[in-house]
Amino acid sequence: MSKTRRSFIRNGLLASMIPSVSFATGNYGKVLEEAIDNTSKYSAPSDLKITKVLSASDGHGVFLKVLTNQGIVGYGEGVDAVRGTYYLVKLLGEQLVGKSPLNPNVIFEGFRKGNFFGGAQSGVFPAVLSAFDMAMWDLCGKALGLPIYQLLGGKFRDKILVYCDTQLYAVNNPSPDVYAKVGVEAVSKGYKAIKFDIDWAGDPNRFDRWNWTANDQEVQRMYNSIAAVRKAVGPKIEICVDMHGRYDAPTGRKVAKVMEPLNLMWLEEPIPADNVEVYKTITQETSTPICTGENLYLTYGFARLLSEGATDIIMPDLQKCGGLGEGQRIANLANTYYVPFSPHMVSSYMAAMATAHVCASVPNFQILEWQSQSDTQAKWRDIVKFGGPFIVDGYLPLSNKPGIGVDLNEEGLKKYAVPGEPFFE
Ligand SMILES: [Mg+2]
């Protein structure tokens, strides 16, 4: 029997579920038809089973490869707190052998509640859980012939606004002129929003190595750097400033106030992310929007922050907060408090695209992080299978392919593998 789209639609029950006309605001019908065209007609989703879970690491992230009995491969990625998790992946992966990957939320909850003290675990576990969850959604999409955003309930947007983290670290002691130049360069590439770091442990003006009260000289350095950027890029470019959760409460308060005339998109983690009460104080005192959450995990990690009104913007990292499904649940919780969802992202383009599917699927998405090194360092091209431009005019174009839409390039990743650690074996 011919396995063309026409016969598939004519013969399948699915035909009754496929809209034959486009919705007023989008091309959903077209996307579904294209997805069905792209579906492996030789795959039988109801019989799809996981056969093996393998992992590899470049020392920055952990990459999962989930093999199935139908030749479909799913990829996942976790970041930061993932060093040495090879055996944790192996342990969890063995629990999935023989199981269908088509219920990512059930697998997520089974892992979360069924392993290690009934859901109370933290540390490396949520980051590894994130990698598993991403791979399950990739497999679901590939097996069913749909992009992940469609499986998450559809998309609100076709392209995902990103901000460019300029990766200009204060630790290199750049002058305000260098801050301004880097900002102008990013804007010339089409970025509508840019981010700068202003924390610096080695600032020669510091009085004490361990105390994190910034003195007036340090605060002036921070202000002058960002004021130079604002002057250079003008009022229409969005500027974020990151303090990496290092400083104490009086410093956080002072810097948030000092930055007010510069009209920031946000001030990120002026203090460590742990104390909700202090966050609430700073957030309520200043007109500078406060953003936090890149190291918080699971929906529970954001619940009190949101219910207390302790932050203006949340920035979960979907490669360590629990994954794509949990990322969507966090975004939806934030939406009930009218809080925007602006994910942190320091991983590969595959992970960026996976995150983009979630960003597309929620109304309160604001902006996604993008690292300037992904534009300039060969590694980020080497480790993915993707030929097109990563970013177009400051936006990440959302993939309509089944699954994530960007696969890992295993051969490319091999160049960056951690020596002595098993590589997908
Ligand atoms: Mg940050």
- Ligand 1 ion: nearby residues, β-carbon < 5 Å: 242, 268, 294
Diameter of the chain by CA atoms? 78
DSSP letter at 25? T
Ligand 1 centre and the CA of 283: distance in Å? 17
Ligand 1 centre to CA of 248 (Å) is: 16
Which positions ≥6 away from 382 have C-beta within 8 Å? 409, 412, 413, 415, 416
Q: What's the one-letter identity of residue 251?
A: T
| Structural tokens at position 291 | 């953003």
Distance from residue 354's CA to the centre of ligand 1 (Å): 20
Asked if the domains at 48-145 and 151-401 fall in one CATH topology, the answer is no
Assigned token pair, 59 = 């020392």
4 Cα to the center of ligand 1, angstroms: 48
Q: Measured in angstroms, how far is the CA atom of residue 196 from the centroid of ligand 1?
A: 10
Q: Burial level of 131, CB count in 10 A (0-12/13-18/19+)?
A: buried
Measured N-to-C along each axis, helices 216-233 and 249-258 cross at an angle, to the nearest 10 degrees, of 30
pLDDT at 373: 95
Tell me, in angstroms, the distance from the centre of ligand 1 to residue 204's CA.
23
**Hey, which bits of 281-362 come out as E strands?**
290-292, 313-314
Rounded to whole angstroms, the Cα distance separating 403 from 142 reads 5
CATH number for the domain formed by residue range(s) 151-401: 3.20.20.120
Report how far apart, in Å, the C-alpha atoms of 184 and of each of 181, 237, 389 are.
Answer: 5, 10, 21
Q: How far is the CA of 282 from the centre of ligand 1 (A)?
A: 17
Q: Report the first-to-last Cα separation within the chain, whole angstroms.
A: 38
Among 271, 282, 193, which Cα is nearest to 230's?
193
User: Ligand 1 centre and the CA of 71: distance in Å?
Assistant: 39
CA 227 to chain CA centroid, nearest Å: 29
- The rounded Å distance from CA 240 to ligand 1 centre is 10
Please give the Cα distance from 334 to 72 (Å, whole number): 34
**292 Cα–ligand 1 center, Å:** 8
Model-wide pTM > 0.75: yes
Q: From ligand 1's centre to the CA of 163, what distance in Å?
A: 12
Instruction: Find the 318 Cα to ligand 1 centroid distance in Å.
Output: 14
Q: Tell me, what's the pLDDT at 121? A: 63
Superfamily of segment(s) 48-145:
Enolase-like, N-terminal domain (3.30.390.10)
Structure tokens at 276: 């909700």
Contact between 363 and 338 (Cβ < 8 Å): no
Expressed in angstroms and rounded, the spacing between residue 119 Cα and the centre of ligand 1 is 26
- Positions of the chain with pLDDT under 50: 1-25
With both helix axes pointing from N to C terminus, report the angle between 176-188 and 216-233 in degrees, rounded to the nearest 10: 30
Strand partners, 193: 238
Q: How far is the CA of 195 from the centre of ligand 1 (A)?
A: 9
Any idea what DSSP says for residue 45?
G
Q: 133 C-alpha vs ligand 1 centroid, how far in Å?
A: 23
How far does residue 369's CA lie from ligand 1's centre (Å)?
10
Q: Give residue 382 CA to ligand 1 midpoint distance, Å.
A: 25
CA of 242 to the centre of ligand 1 (A): 6
How far does the centroid of ligand 1 lie from the alpha carbon of residue 87, in Å?
A: 29
Distance, CA of 203 to CA of 409 (rounded, Å): 40
Task: Locate the domains of the chain by residue range.
Answer: 5-38, 48-145, 151-401
Phi and psi (nearest 5°) for 288?
-70, 120
Q: Do the bridges between strand 384-385 and strand 407-408 make them parallel or antiparallel, or are there none, so unpaired? A: antiparallel
**294 Cα–ligand 1 center, Å:** 6
Strands (E), 22-181: 50-57, 61-68, 73-79, 159-165
Show the CA angle centred on residue 416, arms to residues 415 and 419, nearest 5°: 100
Q: 190 C-alpha vs ligand 1 centroid, how far in Å?
A: 22
Burial class (CB in 10 A: 0-12, 13-18, 19+), 291: buried
Q: What was the pLDDT predicted at 24?
A: 45
Ligand 1 centre to CA of 244 (Å) is: 5
What is the Cα–Cα distance from 246 to 273, expressed in whole angstroms? Answer: 9
Distance 8 CA to ligand 1 centre (A): 48
Contact criterion met (CB below 8 Å) for 161 and 192: yes
- State in Å: Cα 401 to ligand 1 middle: 31
Cα 141 to middle of ligand 1, angstroms: 31
